[in-house]
Amino acid sequence: MNIVTLGTEVLRRKAEEVTDFGAGTVKLAADMLETLRGAKGLGLAAPQVGVSRRLFIVTIPDEPPLVFVNPEVLELSPETGKYEEGCLSLPGIYADVTRPLALRVRAWDGREKPFTMDAEGLLARVILHEMDHLDGIMFIDRLTELKRKRIMKVWEDKFRA
Ligand code: ZN
């Protein structure tokens, strides 16, 4: 699948709930997993492959891949932390983003089985980054305006080059 980059409208749209857990959703998750592995990323949300649906996948090294369908954050830790993030839809751009360090999330897996998960560390960070994609939010939106402007300039220069 083709990964779309900043400037593509679907990345800024609020994605719709998945209502059909049939073969189409199973195939979407499988195709996204292959795409993510090829791109060497940690997470990929459906809007990033042009599909405005509430589904994302996470692949943390040495862990089995996880599929989240219609995810809902139930709890966020009050403790936050800064960590450098990148995004397959913003290739070459990295910045420190502040986010809660732990969370509890409820979702369905790719085969219509509900689950609740407590996550912390890298996993929590990737989940929150991907959750944002389902609401049309990019990680640069979580930076200060000054930082975001600086990054947007780098991004635009890259396009012009
Ligand atoms: Zn991203």
Give 128 Cα–ligand 1 centroid separation in angstroms.
10
Give 104 Cα–ligand 1 centroid separation in angstroms.
20
In a domain, 116, yes or no: yes
| Cβ-based burial of 100 (10 A; exposed 0-12, middle 13-18, buried ≥19) | middle
Model pLDDT for residues 22-72, shown as the tens digit of each residue? 899 999 999 999 999 999 899 999 999 999 999 999 999 889 999 999 999
In a domain, 1, yes or no: no
Cα dihedral sign for 114, 75, 124, 57?
positive
Task: Out of 35-39, 89-93, 136-140, 157-161, pick the least confident.
Answer: 157-161
Give 114 Cα–ligand 1 centroid separation in angstroms.
24
In the set 16, 63, 120, 130, the catalytic residue is 130
Kindly report whether the global pTM for this prediction surpasses the value 0.85: yes
Cα dihedral sign for 63, 59, 103, 99?
positive
Domain count of the chain?
Answer: 1
In a domain, 56, yes or no: yes
Give 57 Cα–ligand 1 centroid separation in angstroms.
11
Task: Give the domain range for residue 128.
Answer: 9-160
In a domain, 92, yes or no: yes
Q: In this structure, what CATH number is given to the domain that contains residue 58?
A: 3.90.45.10
**Which residues lie near ion ligand 1 (Cβ < 5 Å)?**
87
In a domain, 154, yes or no: yes
Which of the 8 DSSP states describes residue 16?
B
Q: Let me know if 156 is a catalytic residue.
A: no
Give 93 Cα–ligand 1 centroid separation in angstroms.
11
